[in-house]
A and B are shown apart, each in its own frame.
Chain A
């Protein structure tokens, strides 16, 4: 292989990979645009039975071409209670065979079809009349790019076999099945797409650059790579989303170990190998490898079926629940309650009380009363509070879609407004906690702002009491605590601005903290029961 042709191959290979990943990203980002409440509701209906869940999994795997991506998308759906964990585990298990579709596409000539998909989807996206379908055409264009990348990869792989370095690598792979397995794991960690690796291997195998058995072992190794990749990418996840990523890792690792072990036994002459059986069935090498890949990915679904009775117990042991995760899940509202306006608004009020009961803990890091401090993370708590707030807001938005009478609509409009205030209150409390916790201990600024934090904490508790109960005294206390005290706070501002107070930075931080305190007070006043309709 001459230097020039090697350079051409490498260029085509690189461009093919880039087109492939641009296509993959395009599909994902376009799907995000489609992720409306309606689409999510359809997803929920689509998993009403295990069979539907399996079909959805295959479909998602085929479209996204990434078992990892499916795991993370489902994590979001389960976290927002659109899917049950059990159903999501089934979807994840069947997403794996779905990804194998690409390997079959690689085994056929896609050139012309690919160009048509790119051309038509691209032209459709330029039509203003079709603008509201842009997400769909964007996904199609992504598929086109992805397929075009595959074509380029196949073309680039052809001359590689003549290169001495490549012969050395494939020679090493051909000499050791274990090395092939490890290379598969490593490749999956780098390339992040088992189907892409399978496609590359099919291309190499079709040119006779690698033995089918070794190629199959590399494919088996990708299963461990999926597991490691999902675990690494899912480090920041919590709760059910983390459980789903663990399940994906478990299923793929089991499949890889099973299939790799089988191939090793076949190599030792104990059993016939899958690839031998497929080749004996008169399949071409490409189709045999694609089928072998499909078998490997389908093993995940088999293991899922075998372990389904114990899956939740295993996952709960691996990933126990945290208080923050429980908080993020609505306790009262559900789709069934959105038909009755009075009931819906009452249940929303109860969810809001849950937020207000938990929100003061955002101030713990800034408290003067350190005996009150909790060990939980403020960021995790904030995420949970915002998550619950988003759930409530979505629920109310859905309630308004039901076409209620004028009075009921007014009720919902006010409830939506109040929920917006709750969201702003979470932001203001968090900002106050962050600002004051950054101050040095023992300074005038930290003492003054610590007092503001303690007063805010007490105010929030009273607000929750007033919203939850019917005690008139709570309302009276809340009214006093949230009354306009601009004159008093102006005087505090003046003293904070004096040169004796502290450094300019401390002064600025104190003035900001006072503003935040005033904002919390104002928002709490807006949430007071008297302000409700």
Chain B
């Protein structure tokens, strides 16, 4: 059942709603939209609870991010596929529009990315480039890393072994 935005009055209430099991993807999409649009997330926020992007057990994706020194580290956990693409893109949009155009994508906890997931990453790339930022994709597991290699995206964003290296690369570029 979709949760109307008007029912979300506080971060605690939102967190409770998100933690409710087995919501439909439309419901979760509404939640993400509500979260992204609400005034509950000022640009200075540094971290918050994980957000479930899909209700399906097999294809769960959890998204969290922290912002430090103008660099957002977005951590993904689970599968990034066609089930979770829209939710991930919405989340990425929320991160970038909230002021973080320098993004490190931590994929250490992602065991599978499909072409739909790849397109979600490309959406993030477009967002950060459109905001004159940069993207570093870090800590990919071998199958995920191989997909990035097959896709020939090395020239468009940084692909680095660790999150720290990604953060350091963005600091070096933007100072």
In chain B, what residue has the closest Cβ to A455?
A: B150
Complex interface residues of chain B between 125 and 175 (CB less than 8 A to chain A):
125-126, 129-130, 143, 146-147, 149-156
A-binding segment of B8-16, B43-51, B102-110, B112-120: B112-120
Assuming A369-B82, A451-B146, A455-B147, is B115 touching A480 (CB within 8 A)? no
Q: Across the interface, do A481 and B153 meet the contact criterion of CB distance under 8 Å?
A: yes
* List of B residues within 8 angstroms of A451 by Cβ: 143, 146-147, 150
| Contact pick for B122, options A368, A447, A456, A477, CB 8 Å | A477
* List of A residues within 8 angstroms of B113 by Cβ: 454
Most B CB contacts (10 A, CB to CB) among A451, A456, A488 go to: A451
In chain A, what residue has the closest Cβ to B145?
A: A451
Cα-based distance from A482 to B156 in the complex (angstroms): 13
Q: Across the interface, do A482 and B116 meet the contact criterion of CB distance under 8 Å?
A: no
Cα-based distance from A297 to B119 in the complex (angstroms): 59
Q: Across the interface, do B156 and A371 meet the contact criterion of CB distance under 8 Å?
A: no
* List of A residues within 8 angstroms of B129 by Cβ: 473
Q: Across the interface, do B156 and A480 meet the contact criterion of CB distance under 8 Å?
A: yes
Q: Across the interface, do A371 and B81 meet the contact criterion of CB distance under 8 Å?
A: yes
B-binding segment of A188-196, A205-213, A335-343, A458-466: A458-466
Residue B90 is within 8 A (CB to CB) of chain A in the complex = no
Main secondary structure of the interface of A (DSSP, over half): helix
Report A464-494 CB contacts with B as 1/0, cut-off 8 Å: 0000000101001100111101001000000
* List of B residues within 8 angstroms of A369 by Cβ: 81-82, 112, 114-117
| Contact pick for A477, options B83, B150, B154, B156, CB 8 Å | B156
Q: Across the interface, do B114 and A372 meet the contact criterion of CB distance under 8 Å?
A: yes
* List of B residues within 8 angstroms of A372 by Cβ: 81-82, 114-116
Q: Across the interface, do A454 and B125 meet the contact criterion of CB distance under 8 Å?
A: no
Q: Across the interface, do B155 and A454 meet the contact criterion of CB distance under 8 Å?
A: no
Residue B59 is within 8 A (CB to CB) of chain A in the complex = yes
Q: Across the interface, do B143 and A480 meet the contact criterion of CB distance under 8 Å?
A: no
Cα-based distance from A480 to B152 in the complex (angstroms): 6
Q: Across the interface, do B150 and A452 meet the contact criterion of CB distance under 8 Å?
A: yes
Complex interface residues of chain A between 355 and 384 (CB less than 8 A to chain B):
360, 367-369, 371-372
* List of B residues within 8 angstroms of A471 by Cβ: 126
In chain A, what residue has the closest Cβ to B113?
A: A454
Assuming A367-B114, A369-B115, A480-B153, is B82 touching A454 (CB within 8 A)? no
* List of B residues within 8 angstroms of A473 by Cβ: 125-126, 129-130
Cα-based distance from A307 to B82 in the complex (angstroms): 47
Q: Across the interface, do A458 and B118 meet the contact criterion of CB distance under 8 Å?
A: yes
Q: Across the interface, do A458 and B115 meet the contact criterion of CB distance under 8 Å?
A: yes
* List of A residues within 8 angstroms of B83 by Cβ: 371
Cα-based distance from A49 to B38 in the complex (angstroms): 63
Most B CB contacts (10 A, CB to CB) among A455, A456, A458 go to: A458
Assuming A371-B59, A480-B155, is B149 touching A488 (CB within 8 A)? yes
Cα-based distance from A483 to B155 in the complex (angstroms): 10
* List of A residues within 8 angstroms of B125 by Cβ: 473, 477
Whole-angstrom distance between the Cβ of A104 and the nearest chain B Cβ: 64
Residue A457 is within 8 A (CB to CB) of chain B in the complex = yes
Cα-based distance from A482 to B155 in the complex (angstroms): 12
Cα-based distance from A372 to B85 in the complex (angstroms): 11
Whole-angstrom distance between the Cβ of A88 and the nearest chain B Cβ: 40
Q: Across the interface, do B152 and A481 meet the contact criterion of CB distance under 8 Å?
A: yes
* List of A residues within 8 angstroms of B115 by Cβ: 360, 367, 369, 372, 454-458, 461
Most B CB contacts (10 A, CB to CB) among A360, A372, A456 go to: A372
In chain B, what residue has the closest Cβ to A521?
A: B152
In chain B, what residue has the closest Cβ to A474?
A: B126
In chain A, what residue has the closest Cβ to B54?
A: A371
Cα-based distance from A521 to B166 in the complex (angstroms): 29
Q: Across the interface, do A483 and B152 meet the contact criterion of CB distance under 8 Å?
A: yes
Most A CB contacts (10 A, CB to CB) among B82, B83, B152 go to: B152
Assuming A480-B155, A482-B152, is B119 touching A458 (CB within 8 A)? yes
Q: Across the interface, do A371 and B82 meet the contact criterion of CB distance under 8 Å?
A: yes
Q: Across the interface, do A368 and B112 meet the contact criterion of CB distance under 8 Å?
A: yes
* List of B residues within 8 angstroms of A462 by Cβ: 119, 122
Assuming A369-B82, A371-B83, A447-B143, is B114 touching A454 (CB within 8 A)? yes
Whole-angstrom distance between the Cβ of A464 and the nearest chain B Cβ: 11
* List of B residues within 8 angstroms of A481 by Cβ: 151-153
Cα-based distance from A403 to B82 in the complex (angstroms): 48
Cα-based distance from A369 to B151 in the complex (angstroms): 16
Whole-angstrom distance between the Cβ of B137 and the nearest chain A Cβ: 14
* List of A residues within 8 angstroms of B154 by Cβ: 480
In chain A, what residue has the closest Cβ to B157?
A: A480
* List of A residues within 8 angstroms of B156 by Cβ: 476-477, 480
Cα-based distance from A360 to B116 in the complex (angstroms): 12
* List of B residues within 8 angstroms of A488 by Cβ: 149
In chain A, what residue has the closest Cβ to B144?
A: A451
Q: Across the interface, do A454 and B118 meet the contact criterion of CB distance under 8 Å?
A: yes
Of the A-B pairs whose beta carbons lie under 8 Å apart in the complex, a sample of 7, sorted by A's number, is A367-B115, A372-B81, A372-B116, A455-B118, A462-B119, A473-B129, A477-B153
Instruction: Supply 12 further A-B pairs (C-beta < 8 A) apart from A360-B115, A461-B115, A517-B150.
Output: A372-B114, A454-B113, A454-B115, A455-B147, A455-B151, A457-B115, A462-B122, A473-B126, A473-B129, A477-B156, A480-B153, A488-B149
Task: Give the interface of A toward B (CB within 8 A).
Answer: 360, 367-369, 371-372, 447-448, 451-452, 454-459, 461-462, 471, 473, 476-477, 480-483, 485, 488, 517
Please give me the 4 A-B residue pairs with the lowest Cβ-Cβ distance, nearest first: A369-B114, A457-B115, A455-B150, A458-B115
